[in-house]
Each structure stands twice: as C-alpha cells, then as structure tokens.
Amino acid sequence: MTRLAQTAGLTDIQQEILSTVRDFVDKEIIPVATGLEHRDEYPTEIVEGLKELGLFGLMIPEEYGGLGESLLTYALCVEEIARGWMSVSGIINTHFIVAYMLKQHGTQEQKDTFLPRMALGEVRGAFSMSEPALGSDVSAITSKGVRDGDEYVLDGQKMWLTNGGTANLVAVLCRSDEGHPEGTAPHKSMTAFLVEKEPGFGEVRPGLTIPGKIDKMGYKGVDTTELIMDGLRIPANRVLGGATGRGFYQMMDGVEVGRVNVAARGCGVAQRAFELGVSYAQQRQTFGKPIAQHQAIQFKLAEMATKVEAAHAMMVNAARKKDSGERNDLEAGMAKYLASEYCKEVVEDAFRIHGGYGFSKEYEIERLYREAPMLLIGEGTAEIQKMIIGRRLLEEYRLQG
C-alpha cells in the first residue's frame, strides 16, 4: 500500500531505512507470521534479521554503536513491523524502552556496560512495573529493594513482563525505603533496578525465577511472563542512574516513548487490516458484483482508511514533539488512545468484510482480530490515557484570575 500513511518531510536516510524495513517485512515477516503465531513459536530467524538490520540499536547513540536515529524513525519502523506481525514489534519495544531509559538516566558506567551490547542485540531488555495486584496504579507497587552493604536485596512478584524469558536485562521498579522515611509520597520512594539474568525459564539467577510463559489470546510468539524475586541480591551500582527514589519518573519517561510506540503498532495493524479488507472486498462477489461495489462496503473502506490516516498523523505528531525536545505526554496519550481504538475498529470492519471466512484461521484477519485488543491495554489503558489527557488539558486551559 502506498497511498495511505505517508509522512512528509523525511530525510533521505529515514526513507532508506523505512524502505529497507518495509522490504524485510514483506519478504521475511508477512509470509511466515500467521504460521508462527498459530504455533506460538518465537520468531528466531526474524529477530536475527532485525539484528542484522541494526534495529535493536536504532535509537542508541552512534558513540555506543547504534544508529542514533530519532523517535520518529523508530516509530515509523515499528509501524512497518507491526503491519507484518505485531508480536515482532513487541520484541523490540521493551528493549527500546530500557535502552532509552539507560541513555536518558543511566550512569556513565551503566551506559558503557550495556548500550554497545544492546545496540548489537546481545543484551535484550525487558521492562517490569506491573504486579499481580496492580497495573494502572503504579504507586501501589509492593516489591521491595532493601540496602545491605554494597548490595540491594529484592523481594516481590512481578507480572506481565513482555520478553521476560528471552531478555537478559530487566528494568524492575521496586519500592525502596532507603533515605525515604515513612510517609514519603509513593512516587518519590521508588527505584528502578537493572537486573541481569540468563535468558530462559525457572531459576535464572539465585533468588530470581521466571516461572513460564503466560498463555495468551493473541500477541503470541513473544513471551510474556511473571518474575519472582526472593532474596535477589543486586550490586548497588545497578540502581538506574546511581540514586534511589527516582525510579517512578525514570519509568514514566520510558512509558511516554513506549506510548508513541504502541500508537505506531496500532497504526501498523490497522494498515494491514485495511489492506486485507480492501483486497478481499474486490474479490468476493455477492448479488452479481464484487462486494466493494456495494455502497455499505465502500463506506466501511472509507471509514477504515480515514482512521488509518488520522491515527498515523497523530502518532507522527507525538514522535516529532518528543524529538524536538518538548514535553509530549499530552500528544503521546492522545496518539496511543486514538490509534489503539481505531485499530480495534478497523480490524473489526476488515473482519466483517471477510464474512464467515474472517472466522477461519486460514485468513490473516483472524490473527489481527486477536492481536488488536492488547493495544487497548498495554502501556496504559484507554481510561488511563484519558486521565493523562484530561489532567494536561486542565493545566493548559487553566482559568486565569
């Protein structure tokens, strides 16, 4: 598809990167995605291909061996990849958030240790805030990090780690009481710990267990896990940024770029659903003509394409805002909210256009139908986005006097 979701003002380098990624998606991802998804199989070859393309280091600065590209370039690549298979964009997403947090907040030693190997995809990141009893309400975290000499001892249970099994570096948000007396606001008494581990399941390091993969409705292939810390000992120099009490802000900064990423995934999945819908509508005949010639179906296609365009424009705007150095929480929240809702609606319309065949696992739209809902939840639900948007609007439009 060439007409929709164009982005004005890209540099030659950006265009070259995107065309390489699109080519890779068309040749290496789309033909195998549905088969791998149905088998819930990790896309090892695709991941190796992404490593070769340098995608694991796309936003990592050149001095650390990355490509030093912008959030916009990254988001547009993610959009392309999600068009092929949303799970593959999930494999990159938590890696990218952890690399971003290291770049923004890490000590020099932490950047030197991790970023060059992250750029190569040798170190792969996972991001852990959620717990069994909380997701939206991050301030309710109960996992704890307690100082013991030159180490911290971590205890607690985490939930929903995307790439929890395959990653070897996990940014884990815990409550840390050190220097923060009782009564300190929750967001000021949290610390992000950089936990290194072996990939795999079971006890992957003394005191750290990854029990197994959570069986999910969609978003298959990529592993999503729990993480159990029981007396896990972490050197004090693995506190992100070297000082406790800043974890909440560091993780929220990561989530903010993650939201642009989820918006981009919504755009990519919606584009693919549109491609499938518009193609099927011209092949299937009813009442003597292709269903695309019935006005009701044409209207559906018109609505779908308009949603694809609107979501893409908002996602690009949010990425460009961040790249310009400005605060983008309002734009990122709006883009994530709109793109994920529109994605669900476009996928549903493409599913309806397929009639009964949309219900068959032989058709790609069946997979998309199970994948779209994840985007309504990950990196903050629609309600949480609306809370962020509403709060920011009241700041911007505060009554004077």
Ligand X SMILES: Cc1cc2nc3c(=O)[nH]c(=O)nc-3n(C[C@H](O)[C@H](O)[C@H](O)COP(=O)(O)OP(=O)(O)OC[C@H]3O[C@@H](n4cnc5c(N)ncnc54)[C@H](O)[C@@H]3O)c2cc1C
Q: Where along the sequence are the contacts to ligand X (CB under 6 A)?
A: 94, 127-130, 134-137, 160-162, 216, 219, 224, 374, 377-378, 380-381, 383-384
- Tokens representing 151? 């180490």
CA separation for the pair 330, 332 (Å, rounded)? 6
Burial of 294 by CB count in 10 Å (0-12 exposed, 13-18 middle, 19+ buried)? middle
In angstroms, the CA 392 to CA 385 distance is: 11
Q: Based on CB atoms, which residue is closest to ligand X, 74 or 127?
A: 127
Alpha carbon distance 258, 194 (integer Å): 18
In sequence order, the 6+-apart residues with CB closer than 8 A to the CB of 315 are: 75, 79, 260, 263, 264, 266, 267, 335, 339
CB of 222 to ligand X, least distance (A): 8
For ligand X, give the closer residue by CB, 50 or 374: 374
C-beta of 331: minimal distance to ligand X in Å? 20
- What does the angle CA 321 – CA 326 – CA 330 come to, to the nearest 5 degrees? 65
Q: Which CB, 157 or 317, lies closer to ligand X?
A: 157
CB contact at 8 A, 161 and 128: yes
- CA 45 from centre of chain: 20
Nearer to ligand X, 257 or 384 (CB): 384
Q: How far apart are the first and last CA of the chain?
A: 52
> Which is the catalytic residue, given 131, 341, 364, 379?
379
The least CB distance from residue 256 to ligand X, in Å, is: 14
Q: How far is the CB of 12 from ligand X (least distance, A)?
A: 35
- Please state, in angstroms and rounded to a whole number, the distance separating the CA atoms of residues 276 and 367: 12
Nearer to ligand X, 194 or 308 (CB): 194
Query: What's the length of the chain?
Result: 401
* Distance in Å, CB of 185 to ligand X, minimum: 17
For residue 316, the one-letter residue type is V
Q: Smallest distance, Å, CB 108 to ligand X?
A: 27
Contact 17, 340 (CB under 8 A): no
Nearer to ligand X, 358 or 378 (CB): 378
For residue 26, the 8-state DSSP code is: I
Considering beta carbons, is residue 163 or 189 the nearer one to ligand X?
163
C-beta pairs of 200-209 under 8 Å, 24+ apart in sequence: 200/165, 201/165, 201/225, 205/232, 206/232, 206/233, 207/154, 207/231, 207/232, 207/233, 208/232
Minimum CB separation from ligand X for residue 380, in Å? 6
371 is catalytic: no
Catalytic residue annotation: 379
